[in-house]
Chains A and B, each alone.
Chain A
């Protein structure tokens, strides 16, 4: 059994997210069905499951993009379900999208600058009269630093839509980080990446987690990557949570094996 140890050691840390009975119906379909789990501070929490299991919907519930039919999610004890997405972002939960949703016509730099919105305050008149220069400079520096981090600084002026698939995913991570989150949700960050890139991604996520002191939730289909990266893994099948635990144990769970074999 692999020890559930983060790079910060096995120090006992609190619970960041508590999902209780999260449910979402679309007409007759129950995309997420009575899902409850806890996420601990600082861990990398994997979310796996066959196609259509409800993983993305779960992220949408957690970030306010889709209101739940019932159930709640609490972030550090504060209920976030029912809040608008931008409020949840302001609390410190940020995400990337499975079907990338960058501001395609805007430059990479601008994509990242926009996401600093909740951490800045210049209003209409401050902007028009140029009294927010110091803040603007901070936004600019921060954006460049984040682009550096994901290795896109030399293409800062290009439209996000022109980037390769992998680069767009990296840019989305930079954009998500620009909101200065405490919890980062990554929806299939490795999709469309080759094996070498996937390896780099694992290291990169670890590095980011350490550097920004994050809790990371990651949806990923590629099992070796999940096993390698995650401290704990949850498995969804037909909207239901069928297993949570450390990766090796989950991998041996008969229900999980059944779900994956049955799903093929």
Chain B
């Protein structure tokens, strides 16, 4: 077991992390918004954590809080990314389709150039020597952070989908104008979906900074946006399991292809092409096609009191 974790622990945690990033893009997509901004918020979240955990300015806090510093970094990252999401989202979400995607690409490129040049983000070198969360000895232990976050996110997503807000998201995805005419305010929900994604990506970033030990401008790039988009589309964009499966598989593929040595990145590109050609509904979509959801059952209009067999109470 120890051997297995030693060898694959890092990969497994990375797979979970990829699934989470996939989910961060999945929320805006639920409301029909193709945002490629996730890596930007991921990078910001990571920087927030890295700065809080290494910058001398916060040494006092670290001494006072001890391990409590880590949850604080999550909170701070979530908050800052939420606010940043709001600031970017309100103007950007007036755009549709590919225009929004391009605006979010502009957003991450601007963030990248800024982080390359600020001293607080360590410039081109970035921030290094980020302490391990809760004194973890091994990388696989980060599963205790990412695992619960994944479970909570999936529960959140499932509950959301069944709720009034989830319906509003879907209505906007299907037909924004009709949704508006039927009383669903599109801007409100588009921004909400965008901010949910931003907060999640920021949280993942804040947990990843100690995990990766260093943080720099390479963390939030355009390549990462498309990789994350691939997680969602190839996993399946209509089901919460899609981004998780896609993120895990696409992260594992290059590792599994290690025996191909230098060819593996070429093959990895081919996998993306072939998957987008042959799995247009995504992996989960292709599997789910076999199993249709049950038709909705009509609830009894008058509450019927069902008596247990044998009666009595």
A residues in contact (CB < 8 Å) with B? 63-65, 84-86, 89-90, 94-95, 97, 101-107, 109-110, 113-115, 117-118, 120, 122-124, 126-130, 132, 135-137, 139-141, 144-145, 153, 156-157, 175-176, 178-179
The DSSP consensus for interface residues of chain B is helix
**CA–CA, A120 to B164, complex, Å?**
8
**CA–CA, A65 to B178, complex, Å?**
9
**CA–CA, A190 to B174, complex, Å?**
24
Contacts of A65 in B (CB 8 A): 177, 180-181
Instruction: Identify B167's interface contact among A89, A114, A137, CB under 8 A.
Output: A114
**CA–CA, A97 to B165, complex, Å?**
24
Contacts of A124 in B (CB 8 A): 160, 163, 165, 192
Q: In residues 187-207 of chain B, which contact A (Cβ within 8 Å)?
A: 192
If the complex has contacts A101-B175, A103-B178, are A122 and B184 also in contact, measured as CB distance less than 8 A?
no
CB distance from B188 to the nearest CB of A (A): 9
Q: How large is the interface on B (under 10, 10 to 19, 20 to 34, 35 or more residues)?
A: 20 to 34
**CA–CA, A204 to B304, complex, Å?**
31
**CA–CA, A123 to B301, complex, Å?**
25
B298 at the interface (CB under 8 A from A): yes
B162 pairs with A101, CB closer than 8 A: no
B residues in contact (CB < 8 Å) with A? 156, 159-160, 162-168, 170-171, 174-175, 177-186, 192, 293-296, 298-299, 301
Contacts A/B (CB < 8 Å), 29 sampled:
A84-B185, A85-B177, A86-B181, A86-B182, A94-B182, A95-B181, A101-B181, A103-B171, A103-B178, A107-B296, A114-B168, A114-B170, A114-B182, A115-B182, A115-B183, A117-B164, A117-B168, A117-B182, A117-B183, A120-B164, A128-B156, A128-B163, A132-B163, A132-B164, A136-B163, A144-B301, A157-B293, A157-B294, A179-B183
- Which chain A residue lies CB-closest to B301? A141
Instruction: Identify B178's interface contact among A101, A129, A153, CB under 8 A.
Output: A101
Instruction: Identify A85's interface contact among B165, B166, B181, B298, CB under 8 A.
Output: B181
- Which chain B residue lies CB-closest to A90? B183
A127 pairs with B174, CB closer than 8 A: no
- Which chain B residue lies CB-closest to A161? B174
- Which chain A residue lies CB-closest to B171? A114
- Which chain B residue lies CB-closest to A118? B183
- Nearest 4 pairs of A and B residues by beta carbon: A127-B163, A157-B295, A118-B183, A89-B183
Instruction: Identify B181's interface contact among A63, A105, A110, A127, CB under 8 A.
Output: A63
Task: List 16 other contacts, CB 8 Å, given A110-B170, A123-B165.
Answer: A84-B185, A86-B180, A86-B183, A89-B183, A103-B178, A104-B174, A107-B296, A114-B184, A128-B156, A128-B159, A128-B163, A141-B299, A144-B301, A156-B296, A157-B295, A179-B183
Contacts of A95 in B (CB 8 A): 181
A102 pairs with B181, CB closer than 8 A: no
**CA–CA, A129 to B295, complex, Å?**
25
**CA–CA, A145 to B299, complex, Å?**
11
**CA–CA, A178 to B166, complex, Å?**
18
CB distance from A180 to the nearest CB of B (A): 9
Contacts of A103 in B (CB 8 A): 170-171, 174-175, 178-179
Contacts of B163 in A (CB 8 A): 122, 124, 126-128, 132, 136
B178 pairs with A113, CB closer than 8 A: no
- Which chain A residue lies CB-closest to B159? A128
Contacts of A132 in B (CB 8 A): 163-164
**CA–CA, A64 to B192, complex, Å?**
23
**CA–CA, A122 to B165, complex, Å?**
8
A127 pairs with B183, CB closer than 8 A: no
- Which chain B residue lies CB-closest to A121? B164
Contacts of A156 in B (CB 8 A): 295-296, 298
CB distance from B298 to the nearest CB of A (A): 6
**CA–CA, A250 to B299, complex, Å?**
49
Contacts of A141 in B (CB 8 A): 299, 301
**CA–CA, A137 to B179, complex, Å?**
22
**CA–CA, A84 to B177, complex, Å?**
11
If the complex has contacts A101-B177, A101-B178, are A129 and B184 also in contact, measured as CB distance less than 8 A?
no
Contacts of B171 in A (CB 8 A): 103, 106, 114, 117
CB distance from A164 to the nearest CB of B (A): 19
**CA–CA, A245 to B262, complex, Å?**
81
- Which chain A residue lies CB-closest to B300? A141
CB distance from A100 to the nearest CB of B (A): 9
Contacts of B179 in A (CB 8 A): 103, 114
Contacts of B164 in A (CB 8 A): 117, 120, 122, 127, 132, 135-136, 139
A102 pairs with B178, CB closer than 8 A: yes
Contacts of A104 in B (CB 8 A): 174-175
**CA–CA, A160 to B172, complex, Å?**
15
- Which chain A residue lies CB-closest to B162? A127
- Which chain A residue lies CB-closest to B185? A86
CB distance from A146 to the nearest CB of B (A): 13
B160 pairs with A127, CB closer than 8 A: yes
**CA–CA, A107 to B165, complex, Å?**
17
CB distance from A194 to the nearest CB of B (A): 26
CB distance from B155 to the nearest CB of A (A): 8
**CA–CA, A110 to B166, complex, Å?**
11
**CA–CA, A62 to B165, complex, Å?**
27
